[in-house]
Chain A
């Protein structure tokens, strides 16, 4: 099956620094990728929709200046958490929609961010 890879899988950073998380579709092209956030023992909440070559669409309540999303190619979307604070500590998961065929959705393995 199709593979979506996220990097890094775990990251620890100091408060005030910025962290970049990558989401790559390894064996298919994805014009659209989605970013989710999951707090401990909670559900996944959609943060934004990332479209290749255009600006991301953010869900209500998500700060676009804090969570910068770039979808520069058909296989890569990045999420940058700027000026991270402890409350940004969470599990971030991306999904990618295949551009062709059934347009199935595939999830990455997730990236666990801890902000000290």
Chain B
């Protein structure tokens, strides 16, 4: 069975601090995709990244970076120099078509 665990339910940091959101997954599939989505208070899901299981390179996009460690089944997400607008719920997800979501981490960036 597939499973995504986001152990951090809620995190609060002061603006400009770096913050890492953890994600651990379980799957028996040899090929799969990992995702991160942002859900602001308005509710819509904002796509952040999709990573193929064969691509273990870390990725950086502006203030966002992702660390994929297949050996530990983790796909952690780091926001550097956090901003108030980063406040949202962040979901890690696993799958291809049918996506299994983690429970989400609610991130509060305090001014």
Contact = CB atoms under 8 A, between A and B. Distances in A.
A89 to B, nearest CB: 14
A32 B97 contact: yes
B97 A43 contact: no
A42 interface: yes
20 contacts: A32-B97, A34-B98, A34-B99, A43-B101, A43-B102, A43-B103, A43-B104, A44-B91, A44-B101, A46-B99, A46-B100, A97-B97, A103-B97, A104-B50, A106-B47, A107-B37, A108-B44, A109-B43, A110-B45, A112-B43
Interface in A29-81: 32, 34, 41-46, 49
Contacts of A112: 43
A25 interface: no
Interface of B: 37, 43-45, 47, 50, 91, 97-104, 106
Contacts of B43: 91, 109-110, 112
A113 interface: no
Interface of A: 32, 34, 41-46, 49, 91, 93, 95, 97, 103-110, 112
Contacts of A97: 97
A95 B93 CA distance: 14
B31 to A, nearest CB: 13
A43 B37 CA distance: 12
A106 B99 CA distance: 12
Contacts of A103: 97
